[in-house]
Structure 1
């Protein structure tokens, strides 16, 4: 569970946080993996599982804290936080992110969609950047062959 927690924090840091930097910089293409927003619910639940596994390993008994104890209240708080996050915060973040993109004059570009990535959407600031790529390089940079040259768009705005 510790590895799952670290992976979810890494995925949030590497795939969700950069979205807002790209929007701020006015990147030509913003990749939005909407399914990754669901990982916001993982850290509180994973924290409880790590603590429970540690207690089990230390005591050799199952994790069942008595009612009204600190660990019982902490467990309930983390699980309820996780559930409320997936029900309220995740959809709100998706809607807010979409609204920010629309307000900053981005438009969705389904042509850039990578095959098999139903919860991922590319937003473009310039309609010329919306095309059917022949391949992707690096970190989902779309490329197209024009004549005898391959042209690749760097979507991060740097």
Structure 2
């Protein structure tokens, strides 16, 4: 469900009330989702603050790896999307969730050596399938080849 930095949309509030979650997971630091919004989500749902889990990487790429590490430590399929636009990760994230698979955001520069994403791929992810969302201009063939090498 989506929120903005400083407010919870009504449709999100309604969905959360319908779901009655035991935990709330926040994808992003306080610049992405303010403390005020996090508190509002906890208050709205009755979720205790210690069950409000924030994934706060150095950037969106590290944040996506943190999420994959927790929820998909041994994923058989991994989805890749660019971290530079909104549409590809949004659509791909829904597909990844249906398949109980992780979504990693990839920089146009590829993977930095020893970055969190690379470490996750090397040590945890054993995906037989790598699904790429977007064009080669967004995620280069070189990056895809490197990722496939890391997960073998």
Identify the TM-score tier after normalising by the shorter chain.
under 0.3
Structure showing greater Rg = 1
TM-score (norm 1): 0.27
TM-score (norm 2): 0.27
Task: From the two aligned structures, give the one with the greater helix fraction.
Answer: 1
Bigger RCO (CA 8 Å, 6+ sep): 1
